Structure formats: structure tokens, C-alpha cells
Structure 1
Amino acid sequence: MTTTPAKATDARNLVSLAVGDRLKESRMRAKISQLTLASEAHIARQFISEIERGVANPSVVVLANICHVLGMTLAEFFSELDISLPPQEDEPRRANAAQPKVKPPGSRLR
């Protein structure tokens, strides 16, 4: 799997860079190496590096695991991030792939 560096000019990457900066700052404040953090959070050290550089976007569950190791909550992690991202007009709208369940014949469900 190859990753490309984030460019600060891309609005989406501004969020990734802000999350990465916050992670690195929190990790350094806790005096934990990337290797220790990765090991205790059960993820690869390379992934920690990619998050910190704004190249990778971790899931909320991965961030929660990282925050646990750093001794903080997700709320504390995001509290110092003052960035928002408006929807991009040129991006295709994500479709809802969920399909409603079909009522079985004779069902009393409305």
C-alpha cells in the first residue's frame, strides 16, 4: 500500500494535518515514542507516523485506542482542534447503501 503526502492546499488535508499535529503534540507531552504508542494501541508504528504526517486518516475507534494509551479522552483530543470543513461541491455525494428490509408477506408491520 502506498500513500501520498498530504498537501496543505487541499482543504481535506488541513483536517488530517491538524489531527496529526495534535497527535504528535499529545504523544510528545506524554513522553511516549511512536513505537510504544503503536504497541500499546495495537497498531503499526508506521501508521502512527502516517497519522502524524497527515497522510493517513485513522478511524474513530483507532483514535479512541490511541487516546486511551495517551491517558486522554476523544473529547480532550479534539477540544483544541478549531477546524471545520465545508462540504466540497466538486465531490460526488456519498450514497446510502443501506436497503430497507422488505416486509414479509402477511406481516402486520406498517
Structure 2
Amino acid sequence: MRRDTEPRFTATPPPGVSEFQLGANLRKLRKQKGLSLQSLAQASGVSVGMISQVERGIANPSMRLLTSLRRALNISMQELFGETGNEIPVTSDPQFVRRRAQRPVIDLGILHKELLTPPGRQHLQIMILRLEPGGESGGKALSYPAEKGGLVLSGKVILSVDDVAAELETGDSFVFDSNQPHSLRNTSDTSTEVLWIIGAVQFDRHL
């Protein structure tokens, strides 16, 4: 992770979910919903072969692919990160708080996603995305009902919305309707961190 002058971004994040663990989560959730690989492929638009590779932990899925699978499975962001009601740590904190040490993480190599939203199925989802040099959200632009916004915490990123691209630097912010095709790319030679917010969305439609 890129070192920054503000301590909240320099601390080592908690252990994350590997591709293998992520695949196991998806396989378990698919079976719980009684879906075959073929059924999930038809619902998500992702090939049977790719889903199988993701479930076995031998593929490095993009944000776009994970979003397609999550929407088809109708699961929350917390469930994708491996959290269930039985696995949420018992603490003295109120339900609206998530401590830094309890943030679930998915590390996909060039893309790192750290969930800030407290446990449960909220309409508002907040994450920190880290894109390594050359990293992007996926080869095909995302498009689905939601409202998104964010803030570049460090580095530079190119945000494309409806074929209009903007290079954003540290401190720049943005809001857009994600019905419009959109994607993120890091074309710089350093890591980029983005505070990513998704709000006012139905559970089967958010990222």
C-alpha cells in the first residue's frame, strides 16, 4: 500500500479474503440458493467456465465480474466479503460502528477492496478501493441502477462515465448515476486509493 502522510492510510489493513476464500463464499451462497453453475451463468452473463474457476480460486475476477455474480445471487456486499449474521464479531459497539480492525477485505492483486460499512444489509455501502498501477475495475464498463460517489484519497485515477473520461487526483471528488456505463483505471506508476460510496439502492442492485 502506498505510504501517505496521514496515519489512517498508512496502517496495515486486516487480513483479507483470498481468491480461494472468495470462491468458496460464492460457491456456498450459490448452493444455498439452489442454483446450478448453468443457472448462475444464465442469470449473470458470466460463463460457466469462468464461474467454476472463480469458485475454485484459480481465477482473478474483476470488479465487473464480481458485481455481475453478486447481483445474480442477490447477496449483500457483506455476504460477498464472507460475513454472515453468525460470523459478525460480538463487541460492545453499537450496530452503526465498524472498527478498523474489523474491516473485511478482498484482495484481488491489482484491486483491493476494504469494506467500511458496518455489518448488516444497508442501502449505503462505503469502501476503500486500492488500484495498483495498471489496475482497472474490469474490461467492460459497469452499468446498473445506483448512485455512486467518492473521493480520491491518494494518487491518480481515470474515471470514465458514459464514455467521458476525467483524470482525478488526490482530493478530487465525484458523483454520478451508475445507470451510465462507468469504469476506473490507474494509469500511473503508483497505487491509488479511492473512497467509494454507493447509496440509495435496492439490495439486489448495489455494487
Normalised TM-score (structure 1): 0.60
Matched residues, number: 80
Contact kept, 8 Å, 1:41 with 1:66, in 2: the verdict is: yes
Query: Which residue, out of 29, 33, 47, partners 2:32?
Result: 29
CA radius of gyration, larger in: 1
2:75 aligned residue: 72
Superposed CA deviations along residues 13-53 of structure 1, whole A, max 9, x for unmatched, are x7111011001000000110011101110011000100011
Identity of aligned residues (%): 26
Is the counterpart of residue 46 in structure 1 residue 41 in structure 2?
no
Contact kept, 8 Å, 2:25 with 2:82, in 1: the verdict is: no
2:20 aligned residue: 17
3-state SS of 2:58 partner: coil
| Aligned residue type for 2:28 | E
Task: Flag structure 1 segments of 5+ consecutive residues without an equivalent.
Answer: 1-13, 88-92, 100-110
| Aligned residue type for 1:67 | R
Q: CA deviation at 1:58?
A: 1.2
Query: After TM superposition, which residue ranges in structure 1, 4 or more long, deviate above 6 angstroms?
Result: none
1:56 aligned residue: 59
| Aligned residue type for 2:73 | L
Considering only aligned residues, what root-mean-square deviation do their CA atoms show, in Å?
3.0
Q: Which has the higher strand share?
A: 2
Task: Flag structure 2 segments of 5+ consecutive residues without an equivalent.
Answer: 1-16, 85-103, 110-131, 135-185, 190-207
1:74 to 1:60, Cα distance in 2 relative to 1, 3 A: farther
Moved more, 39-48 or 66-75: 66-75
Normalised TM-score (structure 2): 0.34
CA distance in 1, matches of 2:38, 2:77: 21
3-state SS of 2:59 partner: coil
CA distance in 1, matches of 2:59, 2:187: 25
Which of the pair has the greater relative contact order for Cα pairs under 8 Å at 6+ separation? 1
CA distance in 2, matches of 1:42, 1:27: 15
